[in-house]
Amino acid sequence: MSECPSAIPFGALAEEHHPHVGGKCASLGTMSQAGLPVPPGFAVTTQVFVDAKTASGSKDRITEIVDGALGRLSVITQDALEDVAAHAREVVMTWEIPEEHATAIRQMYAELCALSGIDDVPVAVRSSSTSEDSPDASFAGEHDTYLWVCGIDEVLEKIRRCWASLYTGRAIMYRHEMGYDHTQVDMAVAVQKMVRPRAAGVAFTLDPTNGDRSGICIDAAWGFGESVVSGDVTPDNFLVDKVMWSINRRIISPKTHAHMLTEVPSCEHPMVLRVPVPEDQVNQPSLTDEEILAIARLARTAEKHYGCPQDIEWAVDDDLPAGEDAVLLQARPETVWSKRHHVVGAKTDVMASIVDTLVNPLYAKRGTQPA
């Protein structure tokens, strides 16, 4: 019945799907398509939302509740707005996901579990509304996100909760002020594996010690990247040449602590806590050579994709198969060295330059040749 699939893995999300997956999923799809390995997952398309809404027969009911309320009031009180929102959400929560779509989502979640080798793999379920595609997307990210969702029943439940989050008081007010039609805004949902990092950290697509643009500098430690970002652990440091893909520097530091996923008796979900590292791992490199190169390659891909030096956060997900386990968590432009110019300023006259080279040889300085 639908021209658009129920759910699409990020890796298969093409440009033509973008109108049906919302801004969040479109961006994950674009990154996957560019060879930037985000944590795996899939988009539940707006088709599912639209079909559920149509099947429920309550589309007009929502309009009635929302527009009715807002139309009547010249100045709406916060309490009244929240009442209207709660009422609308109740209605949305009565929508059933049509079986055809539910089957497809079950299938895709099962594949994610198989890829991770975990039954009921924990995922993040995030709203991805189409209104985020509007020129003024400042509302992006204001809808619900659920972390550590386990099992298909929970996933399906949280998908519906994301739909319902279209009708928070803030969202309703925002659309009202922007003059958007509440019934024309659809909701897609991103279901994305929670990363369980064996190691994580940051990477720069230049050497921050000297601005060398040929280097990719990686800081890495065990567990979650918090320890690297906050600086409470001295990370391992690696320098990779982005043309030759050789590892030119390795500094292995004693990593006494790590941020690890820890079961806490009083809590529903495991928590990320700072814990001591087992003694035999303290001085072990936190990355294998293959992992170092995989992270360097994804940093370089991000740099090429965004067209400027990048500062990225990455993780090696312990649940994913080797070779697919290095994932990109975040990329932003590098700001320190990118603004400076690193000009060699060699003499353009070749003979004069050769004389310079001979009279002031590089080898006069220690450490310029490997020995």
Applying CB under 8 A, the residues found at the interface with another protein are 207, 210, 212-215, 239, 241-244, 246-250, 289, 341-348, 350-359, 361-371
Q: Considering the complex, what minimum distance in angstroms separates the CB of residue 98 from another protein?
A: 51
Q: Which is nearer to another protein, 94 or 288 (by Cβ)?
A: 288
For residue 156, how far is the Cα from the chain centroid?
A: 21
Q: Considering the complex, what minimum distance in angstroms separates the CB of residue 241 from another protein?
A: 6
Q: Which is nearer to another protein, 12 or 352 (by Cβ)?
A: 352
Q: Which is nearer to another protein, 179 or 363 (by Cβ)?
A: 363
- C-alpha distances (whole Å) from 198 to each of 250, 263, 279, 291, 320 are 19, 16, 16, 11, 10
Query: Where do we find the tokens 């928590």?
Result: 271
Contact 24, 127 (CB under 8 A): yes
Q: Considering the complex, what minimum distance in angstroms separates the CB of residue 365 from another protein?
A: 8
Strand 271-276 relative to strand 215-222: parallel, antiparallel, unpaired? unpaired
Q: Considering the complex, what minimum distance in angstroms separates the CB of residue 290 from another protein?
A: 11
Query: Where do we find the tokens 């009547």?
Result: 72
Query: What kind and span of H or E run contains 298?
Result: helix 289-306
Q: Which is nearer to another protein, 43 or 217 (by Cβ)?
A: 217
Q: Considering the complex, what minimum distance in angstroms separates the CB of residue 180 from another protein?
A: 44
Amino acid at 172: I
Contact 326, 301 (CB under 8 A): no
Give the separation between CA 25 and CA 135, rounded to whole angstroms.
Answer: 17
- C-alpha distances (whole Å) from 285 to each of 198, 221, 281, 295, 327 are 12, 8, 8, 15, 19
Q: Considering the complex, what minimum distance in angstroms separates the CB of residue 178 from another protein?
A: 43
**DSSP character at residue 267:** -
Q: Which is nearer to another protein, 59 or 304 (by Cβ)?
A: 304
Q: Which is nearer to another protein, 137 or 354 (by Cβ)?
A: 354
Q: Considering the complex, what minimum distance in angstroms separates the CB of residue 151 from another protein?
A: 43
Sign of the Cα torsion 86, 89, 91, 94 reads: negative
Q: Which is nearer to another protein, 55 or 355 (by Cβ)?
A: 355
